Structure 1
Amino acid sequence: MLSAEDLTALWVTLQLAAVSTVLLLLLATPLAWWLSQTAVRGRVLVEALVTLPLVLPPTVLGFYLLLLLGPEGAVGGTLERIGVGHLAFSFSGLVVGSMVYSLPFVVQPLQNAFAATGARLFDVAATLRASPLDRFLTIALPLARRGYLTAAVLAFAHTLGEFGVIIMLGGNIPGETRVASIAIYNHVESLDYGAAHALALTLVVLSLSLLTLVYAVNRRARVVGVPG
């Protein structure tokens, strides 16, 4: 059984995963499209920057985000001066950190999905006087739907287990920045392994269910020959 505090932490985690995933899909779409279509030299550096969160220790990423978003940082300080308030140790700051940390899990599936569509369909649409936006909306997006499903599930599931970035950037504020992974750590610190197991098992089941859904949908699409 999960305690009320654990349920609150789980709810914060689900909110964080949902908000981060939606915003990432919106912001990563033009970036992934550009990476899949461009051949400029700067693309290599952009791809390296996008992939960087995969190899950086989460605490390193969280530390620099804390400096950036805190009251003395470039972003946090600017927000302070205009009366908005910095983003460190807040849910909004966690959203920013989660988006940066999960960026490669969204960009790479979308980039691969866009690249897999090829150029022939776009060339045919262009001969029919379809604008670039029309071609993107009517051809690229529908054919990339499996990539969107994969990106969404990976981003959501990845956020469920975040710890290093969150503890550095958001701390451990109940009801605001205390997510499930931090609640598990708190239980282990206090030697309450039963509570830690209950919450950890909840995350395992949830993550496994999401990944199983992706594999099942993609396998079914391959069997029936659905593109994208």
Structure 2
Amino acid sequence: MIQTADWVALGITLKLAALTTLILLAVGTPLAWWLARSRWRYRFLVEAMVALPLVLPPTVLGFYLLLALGPRGPLGATSQWLWGEPLAFSFTGLVIGSVVYSLPFVVQPLTGAFNSLGSRPLEAAATLRAGTWDRFVSVVLPLARPGFLTAAVLGFAHTLGEFGVVLMIGGNIPGETQVLSIAIYDHVESLDYPRAHWLSGGLLVLSFVLLLAVYGLNRRVTLVKS
């Protein structure tokens, strides 16, 4: 059965996934819009950097993030100077690592959604004297709503299952940086399979439900358009 420590790990995991998703939507939306609309000849360099976490081993990414967030790294040293503590092995460090690791799972669906809009809706809004921000809020956001849902669900679900990155930069501190994936590993390592089953099964069901919601909505949107 699930014990108190597992509930704490669940709370940390859900908090991390929710905060990471919100940050990714805030950061990823303008980045995806730029990728979809830009005609810069070297745009592929930015696209490659965004997609790098898809192919880079999590431990490699986690290692370099650990160097950057540690007390001798640029971000960690700055945090040490400002607040008296580094970012490594802290919840804030987990958020930073999760944002970097899950970035392509939010940016790529948004970029695809923006690309699928074409230019006609924006041109029609421009003829009605709608400003740039007004066109984005009134035209782009409603039409790209399925892309936003897909990006949010994928970013959230991907953060739920992180292991290598969070272990490298957050360690395994109960009540602070221990997330569910690490708790499951601990249970398996100690041969406590029943608790590992409970946590793994819960994550499996939650992930499946989230994906069902995404595919169901996308199918409904496709039927409406057709």
Query: What TM-score comes out, normalization by structure 2 length?
Result: 0.97
What letter corresponds to residue 128 of structure 2 in structure 1? Answer: L
In structure 1, what is the equivalent of residue 13 of structure 2?
13
In structure 2, what is the equivalent of residue 95 of structure 1?
95
In 2, Cα distance between equivalents of 1:192 and 1:102: 30
What letter corresponds to residue 54 of structure 1 in structure 2? Answer: L
In structure 2, what is the equivalent of residue 177 of structure 1?
177
In 2, Cα distance between equivalents of 1:109 and 1:2: 35
Deviation at 1:85?
2.6
- 1:63-212 pair list within 5 angstroms: 63-212=63-212
Deviation at 1:87?
1.0
In 2, Cα distance between equivalents of 1:45 and 1:84: 36
- 1:3-82 pair list within 5 angstroms: 3-82=3-82
Q: Deviations over 1:81-135 (max 9, x none)?
A: 2235321101111011001000000000000001111001111222222211111
- Helix, strand or coil: the match of 2:146? helix
Percent of aligned pairs sharing the same letter:
62
Q: Which runs of 5+ in 2 are unaligned?
A: none
Question: RMSD value over aligned CA atoms?
Answer: 1.1
- Helix, strand or coil: the match of 1:41? coil
What letter corresponds to residue 78 of structure 2 in structure 1? Answer: T
- Helix, strand or coil: the match of 1:82? helix
In 2, Cα distance between equivalents of 1:86 and 1:118: 45
- Helix, strand or coil: the match of 1:86? coil
In 2, Cα distance between equivalents of 1:225 and 1:128: 24
What count of residue pairs does the alignment treat as equivalent? 226
In 2, Cα distance between equivalents of 1:44 and 1:60: 23
What letter corresponds to residue 56 of structure 1 in structure 2? Answer: L
Runs of 4 or more, structure 1, over 6 Å off, are none
Greater alpha carbon shift after TM alignment, 119-128 vs 63-72 = 119-128
What letter corresponds to residue 198 of structure 1 in structure 2? Answer: W
In 2, Cα distance between equivalents of 1:180 and 1:126: 48
What letter corresponds to residue 121 of structure 2 in structure 1? Answer: L
In structure 1, what is the equivalent of residue 218 of structure 2?
218
In 2, Cα distance between equivalents of 1:141 and 1:43: 23
In 1, Cα distance between equivalents of 2:35 and 2:3: 45
What letter corresponds to residue 121 of structure 1 in structure 2? Answer: P
Greater alpha carbon shift after TM alignment, 188-197 vs 122-131 = 122-131
In 1, Cα distance between equivalents of 2:27 and 2:84: 22
